[in-house]
Amino acid sequence: MDKHKIDPQVYDLYDEYCHSNMERREFLRRAAALVVVGGSALAMAQAMLPRYARAQTISFTDKRIKARYVTYDSPGGNSGKMRGYLVQPAGAGPFPAVLVVHENRGLNPHIEDVARRAAVAGFLALAPDGLSPIGGYPGNDDDGKKMQRSLDRGKLRTDLLNSARYLKAHELSNKKLGATGFCFGGGVVNFLAVQMGSDLSAGVPFYGSAPKSADDIAKIKAPLLIHYAENDPRINKQAPAYEAALKANGVPFEAHVYPGTRHGFHNNSTPRYDEAAAKLAWERTVAFFKKHLS
């Protein structure tokens, strides 16, 4: 379905579904009750659900990369162990390293594809699965969302911090670390910038929650490239105070708002995807990492 034919009410309901305890059946039931112009709201809602196989851009067998799953220690996390998807460019390395942090539903196929994109661009990429302490991404986002909500949030952040440290110290890393993430993962990038100080060389959050404390923001040392969707009030209301605090603390940053986009515009598995904005944001991301991690 053409994304321009999807009613804004359905987009808003999908955003609520993604960021709440709402189950898929309830999402579809509520969509069916909507009165919209130009078609069936239920059909529009069904079109919103991700199509991961169709959205893959780089095969896991692509000759430009080598991908594998790795397990590593995570002291203080949800189980003491973590699993992630490690993708390296062809060649011997060392490579600049980039952590790719998933949304609020674990390491799904879209985030694995983003890790492969990062490797094709020349980075050693690790996409950790925050759900690995309780069995890993279950194969669907509904169950993944429930599983992630069941985890201790502080320990989950510790697992992701340990993932960043593991990647930075990896034998294939040049010891310069960048981090990018989406929605929940964007908030994690901001968290890592606070926790890691100068151990993080660059951060690129996509529509992620800002740190809540001015004292935390004062700890940030890494340059940031911040991507916002234009129509994303939940995240954008945090932007003025965050950017003012970054300026007050002398943190170098760029912030870009992509006109006409919604939260999730980089994810090409759903109609929220905006091809032009996603391409531009990714080009900026790769250039930013090449500048700061080389």
Average pLDDT over residues 199-211: 98
Q: Is the pLDDT of residue 157 over 80?
A: yes
Distance CA 218, CA 96 (A): 26
pLDDT in tens, 81-138: 999 999 999 998 899 999 999 999 999 999 999 999 999 999 999 999 999 999 999 9
Q: Is the pLDDT of residue 236 over 70?
A: yes
The residues near 92 (Cβ < 8 Å, ≥ 6 apart) are: none
Element housing 258 (H / E): strand 253-262
Q: Are 276 and 260 contacting, i.e. CB atoms less than 8 angstroms apart?
A: no
The residues near 46 (Cβ < 8 Å, ≥ 6 apart) are: 28
Distance CA 248, CA 18 (A): 34
- What is the predicted pLDDT for the residue at 87? 98
The residues near 58 (Cβ < 8 Å, ≥ 6 apart) are: 65, 113, 116, 117, 120
Q: What is the mean pLDDT of the chain?
A: 95
pLDDT in tens, 241-285: 999 999 999 999 999 999 999 999 999 999 999 999 999 999 999
- What is the predicted pLDDT for the residue at 95? 98
Sign of the dihedral through C-alpha 177, 117, 100, 162: negative
Residue 224, helix vs strand vs coil: strand
Q: What is the DSSP letter of 210?
A: P
Query: Quick one: pLDDT band at residue 40, thresholds 50, 70, 90?
Result: confident
- What is the predicted pLDDT for the residue at 1? 62
Supply the DSSP string of 55-71, one letter for each residue: H--S-TT-TTEEEEEEE
* Tokens, residue 120: 């094709």
Give 3-state DSSP helix, strand, coil % of the chain, rounded to 5: 45, 20, 35
